[in-house]
Chains A and B, each alone.
Chain A
Amino acid sequence: MKNVLQWNPPEGLTGVEVIYTVQYFIYGEKKWLGKPECKNISRTYCDLSPETSDYEHQYYAKVMAIWKTNCSKWAETGRFYPYLETQIGPPAVALTIDETSMSIVLTAPEKWKRNPEERSISMQQIYPTLKYNVSVYNTKTNRTWLQCVTNHSLVLPWLEPDTLYCIRVQALIPGPPRLSPPSEKQCVTTLKDQTSAMK
């Protein structure tokens, strides 16, 4: 739930020094609030994660452009609801392998934290219906199969020995579905078939 406000510079002002000021509003509260780190800035983004970290609330943000002695109207966002609009990241994936099976352990991503000391909150706690799309690619047969799982671990039995398999996993928040980018591809080779090795 890292929430960054981004905007485009006003048209027709190339080469002119433009600075910006951002304000945000917590829906149901009384007034617009400023963020000192985003007052009179020249960059075109402002990280509002700390200000919008309560994902059960909704927010608005607005930005004004200032150049020479002019200032623009406020450009305002729609109502932003982090709980329903955040983009989830991929899970962490741990693989263990033997001759004919693979065990996959998935760890849901964590919520954005103000600082490392802050208590970690798993996205699984926030979204109990979180699921995972596991993609398994057999490099020998060049075939991929997909499996949708709701818990954190699964075992893939009946794999072929001495075969390279590649795994990618996406996290999925149901209705309206939000799919994470895929995790880094991880490839492992199943062990050689010990029985044939001993002949």
Chain B
Amino acid sequence: RCSPSMDTNPVKESFQGIKGAIQTKDTLKNVTILSNLHSIKPLDMCCVTRELLEFYVERVFKYREKLSLQISRAVSSISNSFLALQRTVQPCKEHNLCPCSEEATDATRNINNNYEELEVQSAVIKSLGELDVFIAWIDKNYHQETSTA
């Protein structure tokens, strides 16, 4: 299984600066985008990570111009960090070590469905507001992999 070392600190530092502002803009408390990440099995981690990195780059960070300058700048920095994380995970795919089980595909489809059920601006803000959940999930799972390998 592929478990590259994922440096998430740059993302955390950038997100820390906009967390309060972006989560305050999200007034839809009864809806989440990244549901059930903690039920993802270890075997599916690489696939879900790759899919979610792409989800954020393609469907979330692209809309940063619609946000305030301060938030948009931070999101640009986060976006660059995500591109670096994508490059980190890419070899796993190239070596066929990043399989997508049916469950993993369902999980990422759910996340995209959650996104599509909202109006774009709300979906982008909510997804950005949940970056801490995604990063905490990466930290928890990729650390445990590398330390026990």
- A contacts, CB < 8 Å to B: 25, 27-31, 56, 58, 60, 78-79, 81, 83-84, 128-129, 175-176
Contacts and interface: CB of A to CB of B under 8 A. Distances in A.
Majority secondary structure, A binding face: loop
Interface of B: 8-9, 12-13, 16, 19-20, 23-24, 26, 29-32, 35, 38, 129, 132-133, 136, 139-140, 143-144, 147
Contacts, number: 41
B2 to A, nearest CB: 19
Contact of B139 (A25, A78, A129): A129
Contacts of A129: 139, 143, 147
B13 A176 contact: yes
A128 B144 contact: yes
Nearest to A54: B38
Majority secondary structure, B binding face: helix
B139 A29 contact: no
A175 B12 contact: yes
Given A78-B24, A129-B143, A31 B133 contact: no
A89 to B, nearest CB: 20
Contacts of B24: 78
A79 B129 contact: yes
A28 B30 contact: yes
Contacts of B13: 176
A175 B139 CA distance: 9
Nearest to B140: A128
B16 A176 contact: yes
A123 to B, nearest CB: 13
A183 to B, nearest CB: 24
Nearest to A59: B29
